[in-house]
Amino acid sequence: MLIQGYKHSRLMEESEACLAAAARAGPPDDMIFASRILNHPTSYRTWESEHDRLLRNVSVHHRLAPQMGALRSAAFSVIHRTALFDYIRDRAVTGQKRRRLFALFYGTRDYSNSVIAEHASFIRSHSSHICLDHLAAQLMRDAAFDEPMQLYAEWYSDYFRVFCDVGLAETEEEKLELAPVEALKPLLKYRLAQARDSILALPQVPSTVWREVEIRRATGETQKLRRLSVEQSLDSRGLEDTGKWRAPGRRRRPRDGSRDRPRE
C-alpha cells in the first residue's frame, strides 16, 4: 500500500507547534526542556537547524513507509545523544568522577567546555525527541514508538550504564565487583542490535490498533474497559449499539425438551 508522505515544511511546523505546546502545558520534564529552547533565541536557532537536518532524512522520502523507517532511525540517534547526561543524573556523578567520565568521551578536550556543549546538546536532543514522538503519534500513527521504542530506550540505558560504570572503576575492588557486569556487555550490545533491527522491521504502515490503544490508555479519570481482540470481529464479541457487552447467544432448546434436529 503506497501512502503519500509528509512534506518537510509540515514536519517542521508540527514540531515547532509541539514544542510550544509542551512548554505551555506538557509534562513537567518536557516543559523544562522546551522552555529552555524557546526562551533563548540562540538555543532555538541551533535546535531548529539541528532538527531541520534530522527531519531532512525523513522528508527526503516521498512515501509514508520509508518516512516511518527514517523517523525511527532519527529516534535512535536522539536516544543515544541524551544518554550521557541521563547517566549523570541517575548516578549523581560529581567531582573528579565526572571529570573522568567526560574524559571517556571527550578525551583531553577542555572539561568545562565539554560539559557546557554536552548539556546544551542534551537539551536540544531531548526537545527533538519530544517532537519525534509527536510526529509518530499524531501524523504517522507509528505504533513502534509506543512500547518497542520505550523498551529500546531502557535497554540502551542499561548498556550505557554498564559501559560507564566499568569505565569509571579505579580500584581493584571496584573492578572485581563489576567483572560479572562487564562480562554482560557483549550480550547487552547484541540485544540492542537485535531490538533495533526488530523495530526497523516492524510494519511501516499506520497501525490499525493505534487509536484503540490510545483511547484505552489509563488516565486516572476513566474506568478500565474490556480489551478487544484484533482477530475478533465486533459482531462475534456481541457489541451492541449501546456499547454494552453481551455474551454470545446460546441456541435455545425446543420447549418439548427434544434436541435440535439436523437439517435435512
| Gyration radius of the chain over CA positions | 25
- pLDDT of 254 above 60: no
Q: Residue 220 has what pLDDT?
A: 55
Length of the chain: 264
Domain-located, residue 1: no
Q: Residue 219 has what pLDDT?
A: 56
Q: Residue 61 has what pLDDT?
A: 95
Q: Give, in degrees to the nearest 5, the angle at Cα 203 between 197 and 209.
A: 125
Domain count, the chain: 1
Q: Which range is least confidently modeled, 6-10, 11-15, 80-84, 140-144?
A: 140-144
Domain that holds residue 27: 8-211
Domain-located, residue 224: no
DSSP 8-state class, residue 186: H
CB 83 within 8 A of CB 157: yes
Q: Residue 206 has what pLDDT?
A: 76
Domain-located, residue 243: no
- pLDDT of 260 above 70: no
Q: Which residues pair with 4 in a beta bridge?
A: 63
Q: Which of 73, 88, 77 is nearest to 125 (CA)?
A: 77
CA distance linking residue 257 with residue 260, whole number of Å: 9
Taking the CA atoms of residue 22, residue 28, residue 29 and residue 34 in that order, the dihedral angle to the nearest 10 degrees is 30
Write the DSSP assignment of 128-146 as a string of letters: HHHHHHHIIIIII--GGGT
Reported as half-sphere exposure (CB side, CA atoms, 13 A), residue 91 has a value of: 20
Highest mean pLDDT among 115-129, 134-148, 217-231: 115-129
Domain-located, residue 84: yes
Phi, psi of 253 (to 5 degrees): -85, 150
- pLDDT of 216 above 80: no
Q: Pull the grid cell for residue 26.
A: 506538557
Q: Residue 18 has what pLDDT?
A: 96
Q: Give, in degrees to the nearest 5, the angle at Cα 79 between 45 and 50.
A: 20
CB 254 within 8 A of CB 260: yes
Q: Which helix (H) or strand (E) holds 27?
A: none
Domain-located, residue 231: no
pLDDT digits (tens, 9 = 90+) for 32-80: 999 999 999 999 999 999 999 999 999 999 999 999 999 999 999 999 9
Over residues 89-94, mean pLDDT? 93
Q: Is the dihedral of CA 80, 85, 90, 94 positive or negative?
A: positive
Percent of the chain, pLDDT > 90? 69
Q: Residue 129 has what pLDDT?
A: 97
For the chain, give percent helix, strand, coil, nearest 5: 70, 0, 30
- pLDDT of 201 above 50: yes
Q: Which residues pair with 245 in a beta bridge?
A: 239
Q: Residue 223 has what pLDDT?
A: 54
- Please give the model's pTM, rounded to 2 decimal places: 0.75
Q: Residue 214 has what pLDDT?
A: 52
Domain-located, residue 69: yes
Domain-located, residue 32: yes
Domain-located, residue 218: no
Q: Which of 116, 4, 133, 134 is nearest to 59 (CA)?
A: 4
Q: Residue 95 has what pLDDT?
A: 93
Q: Residue 146 has what pLDDT?
A: 87
Q: Which range is least confidently modeled, 69-78, 132-141, 177-186, 198-207?
A: 198-207
